[in-house]
Structure 1
Amino acid sequence: MHSRTTHKGAGATALRAEVELLVRPGQQSLTPGGAEALLREETGVGSGRIGKNHVTSAASLRSVTRAASGTAFPALLVNVNQEGGRLNALDWPEVVQLPGSMALGAAGDGTLAERAGAAIGGQLRASGVTWNLAPVCDLAAWPSQSAVGTRAFGSDPEQVARLVAAFVRGLQTAGVAATAKHFPGLGGVSVDPHLAAPVVNELPDGALLPFRAAVQAGTACVMVGSQTVRSIEDRPALASPKTIAVLRELGFGGVVVSENLSIPAVHEPLGGLPRAAVAAVAAGVDLVMLDSEISRGRQTHLEQVAAVRRRSTVVQALADAVESGLIGRRRVAEAAERVRALHGRFGISPSTVLPACAETNTVAGEVADRIARESVTVVRGARHLPLVLAPGTALAAVRVPDVGQRRADSARQAPDLLPPLLGAGYPVIPLPTGGEVPDSVGAVVVYGYDTRTGHRSGAAAEAARLARRHPVVQIAFGDVDDLAGSPADVLIAAYSPHHASAAAVTAVLSGHLRARGSVPVEGATW
C-alpha cells in the first residue's frame, strides 16, 4: 500500500513538472530586486517576466539573462516580440530598429530578408534572448487589417513565402528560435483578434504557402491564432484539432504555440482562461502563451500577483484535465518533450558564448539602412522629385497625430525624426495639423504613422486641405493605405517610422536617392 501510494505521488509530481513546461511565462524570477522578491514571498514563485521598468537597456538585459541562466532548468529560453517595423519589445534608444516585414516586401529581396532575420537574431542573442515570436506569415489585404498591416510581407503568397523562409533562416542561423504566426493566417480577417474573435468561412488563396515555406526552412515554432476558419473547423484555430492537424500535415514537427490566451477576446469564446488552455493542449498545442516574457513593466504589485495566480490556475486546470482524461497523458508527454528540445537547442547557460551588443547593433544599422533604401516607394508624383524650393521659401512639415488604434504596436512610441532630417537640406517650419501656412512656405510635407480611422485617413484629409494652395508631399510611415484618397502631388510609402526609413525618405526628396520599392499589396488604389 505504501509503495503504491509513493508511486502515485511520484507520477503526480512528474506530471506537474511536465505541465509546468507547457505554460509561459514560467515561474522563474528573472528580474532582480525587491519587487520580485516580494512577489515570490507572497506567491511562492517568480513572475517569469522581465519588466522594462527595471531593465532599461540591452546591456542590462544581457546581465539579467546571464544571471538567470545560472539557475534555469532546462536551459534559459526567453521569448520576445521583435518583428522589426511596427512591433519591437527591445525598443530602447540605443537599439537600432529595422524596417519591418512590409518594407522587406517592398524591396522584394530574399537575401535582404535573410540578412534582416540574422541582424535581429544577433541583437536578441547578444541580450541573452533566444526565442523570437516572429515572423508574421499572414497575407496583407487592402485596405489593411489593423492586426496585420505592415507586419505582413505583402499579399502575394509566393513572394511572402520566399521572404518568410529567408527571414526564418537568418534568425535561426543567428541562434534564435523563429515562430511563424498566426496559423492558419489572418488574411481576410476584418477584426483585430486583440479586440474580438474573428470568424471567416474560407482562407484566402495561398494562405498556407508562407507557413509551408517556414516549415521547410526549419522554423522551430508555429503560433496558432484565435481566428475561426469554418472550412477547416467551426472552432478557434488554437483549440481546433483539425486546424493543428493541417499544420502537422505540412510536415511541422516542432513546438505549436498558442496565441496569447490572457487576451479576453482570445479566451472568452472558449469559456475563460483555464478552459481555453485545456482546449488548446487537448487539440494539439504544445505550449500555451499567457504573455510575452519581456513586458513594459507597468503592472502594479497586485496585478503581478494576479497574473502569477492566473498562471497557477492554468497549470492546475491542465493537470486536472489529465487526471480526468480530458487530455491524454501521452499528449502532455509529447508536448513536454518538444518544449524540452526547444530549450536544449536554443536555450542559454552560463557557458554560452553571446555576441557583443555593440557589434550586432552596428550590423543591424547597416542592414536597416539597406532595407530602407531598397523599400521606400514613390507611389505617385516621381516627376516632381527632387523637391526644389523657390529661393527665399521654406518647407512646412505637418505631422498628423496617431489615432493609436492598433494593439500590437510599439512603433507609435518612436520619436518624430523627419523635421530634423529635412532640416539638413531645407529651411523647415513645423506646423500643427489644421494650422495656417505662412506665405513664405513653398511646399508642404504632410506625414503620419497611424492616422486612419475606418475608411478615413486623417493625413489624406490634411493633405486635401493644404493642396488647394501649396504643392503637397504626403508620406505614410505606417500602413500604406494612409495615402488612399489623398490629392497630394507626391505620395511616398516608407512602411516604418524608424530612423533608417525617415533618412531614406529625406534622401529621396532631396534627390540623393532614387526610390526603388514597390507597394507589395494587391488592390491598392490612390
Structure 2
Amino acid sequence: MSLAARAGELFMIGFRGAAPEDVPEGFLRAEGVGGVILFARNLVSPEQARRLTDRIQSCSAGLPLLIATDQEGGIVLRLSATPWPGAMSLGAAGCTALTERVGAGIARELRAMGINMNLAPVLDVNVNPANPVIGVRSFGSDPGRVAEHGAAYIRGHQAEGVLTTAKHFPGHGDTAVDSHLALTHVPHGMERLEAVELLPFRRAIAAGVDAVMTAHVAFPAVEPEPDVPATISPAVLTGLLRERLGFDGLIITDCMEMKAIADHVGTAEGAVRAIAAGADLVLVSHREEVQREAIAAVRSAIESGRIPAQRVEEALRRVRAARERVARHGQAGDPAVVGGPDHRALAAEAAAAAITAVGNLDDVLPVRPERTLLLAVDPAPVVEVEEREPTGSPVLRAAAELAPGMRAAGVRREPGPGEVERLVAESAEADLVVVATYLAQRFPGQVALVRALVAAGRRVLLVPQRGPYDLLAVPGVAGAVVMYEDHRLAAEAALRCLLGQAPAPGRLPVALSQ
C-alpha cells in the first residue's frame, strides 16, 4: 500500500454505542484505522466491554488495534466497577508502592476487558489552584512528587502488559482555562519549564512510558509563533520532546475536536499540522464525519508532499511498534476480576490513606454525632472530561450508615440567600457544623454559607469533597478533613476520621497559596 493509502493507521477514533453492532466495522476496515478510544458511553459492564473489544479487534486482519480509554482514577473513570482513587489521592497518601499497586490493579482490569492502552497517568503539575480541568487529576503541585508517583503508576501498568500514556505534554497544570473550551497559554521561560512542567515527563520517559499525549496549550518559550498549541508545534513535539528529551515512543494528540484546536485551525487542518509537527497518532473522539474529513485531509497532505514521506514512515513505524507490543502481551484476562473483592479492598486502602486533616483538630475530633449538623453539597461533573451522572453527596450516604444519629441535610451547589439563611438558623443548636463543600471557589453561594455560619458564631469544620482548594475560599473555619474525590470509599474514610474511628494519614500534596 502507498503511504497515503495508510493514512488511517495514524488515527485513533471514537464512536457512540455500547453494543457490538454499534462498532463502525466498515469504517475501521476501509480506513485501516490504527486505534479506537472508548468512553463511558461505550462501557456498561466488564463482560459487555469484553464483547465490544472483541468485536473491535475482529476488524483488524493483522496486528491488534490499540484500544484505549481514560481510566485515570478519581473523577475520570470510564467504568467505575472499582472506585479507583485519583492521582491527587495517591499523592496525598504519599506511598509510591501503593501507587504502583493501584496502577497494576487498574491495568489488570483494563486488560481483562480487552483494553490495551490507558490514556494515563496525568503528569501535569497542578501549581494553579484555579485550574479548571486538571486539579485533583494531578498528583500534586511538587514536580518531584508528580514524577515519582507517575513513574510508579507506569510500572504498575507495565507489570500487567497495558500501555501507558503520559499527559498532557509539556504541561497543563499552570493554566486557568480548559482546553476543551478555548486555547490557553503557559508563559514561563525554559528554566521554569525544565524545573516544573518537564521534570515528570523526563522521569516517565526514563521509566519507559509507551506514549506521550500532547496538550492543546501554547508555550511561547518553545514555540515563537503566537497562539500555536503544542499539538501542532514542531518546536514542541520534535525540538523539545524528541530531540531535547530523547523520547522515541508514540506521540498521540489530545482530541482534535476540542475547541482549542477546532475553533482555531479546525480538526482536519489540525490533524495535518500535528502529524507534520511530529505526532504519530491523531485522536478524533466523537463524530465520524469529522474523522473521515481528517483522514482525507492527511491523505491529501501525504500525496502532495506537505507531510514528508519520511515523517509518515516514522509515524507508521511507531504506531506499528505499539501494536506489536500489544500483540506480545497476549490474550486478555478474565472480566470477573473487574470490581472484584481484592481490587475493592485495594481501592479502600488507598482512599483511607489519602484522607488529610488540615489544622489542629485535637479539640474538634472526634465529633459528637448528636451535637453535629452535617451540611453536604451535592457534587456533579463540572468539566467535559468527566462522564458521570450526579448521584448526590456520598458524604450524606456515609453519614446515614456510620452516624445515624447525626442531623444532616443536602445543599445545592449554589445555595441562594434564602437557603443560606435557613441553614444558619437550623444550625443554632449544633456544637459543630460540618460543611462538605464541593469546588467552593467556583460557587460563591457555598462561600456565603460558610461565612454566614462563622459570622453567626458557629464552629465550622470543612470536608472538601474534591481536594483542598476550598480552604482558600473560606477562611475562619476550625479546620478540614479533606477528600480528593466524591467517591463512596473516600466519603466513608472521611466519616470514620470525623468519628474518631480512623486516622487521617494523608498529607497535603499541593501548596495552598492565593
TM-score normalised by the chain length of structure 2: 0.87
Judge conservation of contact 2:381–2:388 (CA < 8 Å) in 1: no
Superposed CA RMSD in Å reads: 2.8
* CA-to-aligned-CA distance 1:122-179 (integer Å, 9 cap, x gap): 1211111111111111111242301210111111111111111111111222111110
The 2-side partners of 1:129 and 1:353 are apart by 8
3-state secondary structure, aligned to 2:260: helix
Partner of 1:180: 166
The 1-side partners of 2:37 and 2:147 are apart by 33
The 2-side partners of 1:415 and 1:174 are apart by 35
The 2-side partners of 1:169 and 1:112 are apart by 12
Alignment of 1:379-394 (within 5 A): 379-389=358-368, 393-394=370-371
3-state secondary structure, aligned to 1:214: helix
Change (3 A) 1:130 1:359: same
83, 92, 103: which one aligns with 1:117: 103
Alignment of 1:359-508 (within 5 A): 361-389=340-368, 393-402=370-379, 404-410=381-387, 413=390, 415-423=392-400, 424-433=402-411, 434=419, 435-436=422-423, 437=426, 441-453=430-442, 458-467=445-454, 468-484=456-472, 485-508=474-497
3-state secondary structure, aligned to 1:465: helix
The 2-side partners of 1:83 and 1:475 are apart by 23
Judge conservation of contact 2:40–2:78 (CA < 8 Å) in 1: no
Partner of 1:252: 247
Offset, 1:395: 3.4
3-state secondary structure, aligned to 1:14: coil
Long gaps (5+) in structure 2? 412-418
Identity across aligned pairs (percent)?
30
Alignment of 1:223-262 (within 5 A): 223-234=213-224, 235-244=228-237, 245-248=239-242, 249-262=244-257
The 2-side partners of 1:27 and 1:405 are apart by 23
The 2-side partners of 1:268 and 1:132 are apart by 27
The 1-side partners of 2:41 and 2:213 are apart by 28
Is 1:280 the counterpart of 2:294 in the alignment? no
Is 1:206 the counterpart of 2:196 in the alignment? yes
* CA-to-aligned-CA distance 1:75-115 (integer Å, 9 cap, x gap): 13211011111211113xxx111221111111211111111
3-state secondary structure, aligned to 1:383: coil
The 1-side partners of 2:88 and 2:41 are apart by 30
The 2-side partners of 1:17 and 1:427 are apart by 68
**What amino acid sits opposite 1:288 in the alignment?**
V
3-state secondary structure, aligned to 1:478: coil
Partner of 1:78: 67
* CA-to-aligned-CA distance 1:175-234 (integer Å, 9 cap, x gap): 111100011111322211111101232254321110001101111000011111111013
Query: Relative contact order: is structure 1 or structure 2 higher (C-alpha 8 Å, sep ≥ 6)?
Result: 1
**What amino acid sits opposite 2:462 in the alignment?**
Q
The 2-side partners of 1:193 and 1:168 are apart by 25
Judge conservation of contact 1:394–1:441 (CA < 8 Å) in 2: yes
Judge conservation of contact 2:361–2:478 (CA < 8 Å) in 1: no
Offset, 1:512: 1.4
Between Structure 1 and Structure 2, how many residues are aligned? 487
* CA-to-aligned-CA distance 1:22-68 (integer Å, 9 cap, x gap): 111179998423x657x959x97899565755752122111222343
Is 1:64 the counterpart of 2:52 in the alignment? yes
Larger mean Cα displacement after TM superposition, 487-496 or 144-153 = 487-496
Offset, 1:352: 1.0
The 2-side partners of 1:178 and 1:411 are apart by 23
287, 290, 299: which one aligns with 1:319: 299
Offset, 1:510: 0.9
Larger mean Cα displacement after TM superposition, 405-414 or 277-286 = 405-414
TM-score normalised by the chain length of structure 1: 0.85
Change (3 A) 1:340 1:44: closer
Is 1:266 the counterpart of 2:261 in the alignment? yes
Larger mean Cα displacement after TM superposition, 406-415 or 245-254 = 406-415
